[in-house]
Amino acid sequence: MPVRCFTVLRQNKNYLWLALGLFALGWVLGALFTEQIFALVKPSLEQLRDIAEKAQNKGGAYTSGVIFTNNLRATVTMLVLGILACVPTMITLVMNGMMIGVMLTQAGGHFWGLVTFGILPHGIFEMPAIFIASAFGIKLGRVLLVPLVEKTRWQSFKFVWREVLSIGWFVVVLLIVAATVEGLVTPVLLQTFVLH
């Protein structure tokens, strides 16, 4: 199963690069146009803040569970929304990038500490999961518009869903590790190195 998963990922590297590129575009836009974009991403940032505050009062294990559930819902949504001609998934990637860009720009003097101790520890697991789900969401939408060579739209769609099933376990593992780190390790790192 792992061999098949990584083979499928290699075969779809262009979709993965596209997902990464859209996220990076959003990040740059968020950093360059923070004031203009802040109103657009403010509801999402407030929602994240509310989740964080509720989870903080319940302890690390509960926080990890909330984060995992939230991230799993987000990745499944990005995968499924891709069916709608790819557009919703692509917009969501750009919006997520903009949120990070705005958040980090507003961090001011804490920028490097926030990146190093607040984002990287769990982000190295969470972001690949999001990019993988998004990439296959985009591919699902694309094959409905332009079928794979020598396949009908329906055959192409089924083929991509089989690919999704072969990589799904890997996405879930990445999300579990990311949520565990974000719920248990990231708060300690931030408290020790950034917020002290």
Domain spans of the chain, in order of start: 2-37+44-193
Each residue's pLDDT expressed in tens, for the chain with a length of 196 residues: 788 999 999 999 999 999 999 999 999 999 999 999 888 888 887 877 777 777 667 788 888 999 999 999 999 999 999 999 899 999 999 999 999 999 899 888 888 888 999 899 999 999 999 999 999 999 999 999 999 999 999 999 999 999 999 999 999 999 999 999 999 998 888 888 887 6
- Which tokens in the block code for residue 153? 């739209």
Neighbours of 22 (CB within 10 A): 23
What pLDDT does residue 111 have? 86
Q: Which of 14, 5, 154 is closest to 83 using CA atoms?
A: 154
What pLDDT does residue 93 have? 96
- Distance from first CA to last CA of the chain, Å, rounded? 45
User: In whole angstroms, what is the distance from residue 184 CA to residue 74 CA?
Assistant: 21
What pLDDT does residue 39 have? 86
User: In whole angstroms, what is the distance from residue 140 CA to residue 159 CA?
Assistant: 9
SS (H, E, C) the chain: CHHHHHHHHHHCHHHHHHHHHHHHHHHHHHHHCHHHHHHHHHHHHHHHHHHHHHHHCCCHHHHHHHHHHHHHHHHHHHHHHCCCCCHHHHHHHHHHHHHHHHHHHHCHHHHHHHHHHHHHHHHHHHHHHHHHHHHHHHHHHHHHHCCCCCCCHHHHHHHHHHHHHHHHHHHHHHHHHHHHHHHHHHHHHHHHHCCC
What pLDDT does residue 55 have? 66
The answer, as to whether pTM is greater than 0.75, is yes
User: In whole angstroms, what is the distance from residue 18 CA to residue 124 CA?
Assistant: 18
For 120-141, the pLDDT digits (tens) are 999 999 999 999 999 999 999 9
What pLDDT does residue 107 have? 85
What pLDDT does residue 58 have? 79
What pLDDT does residue 188 have? 87
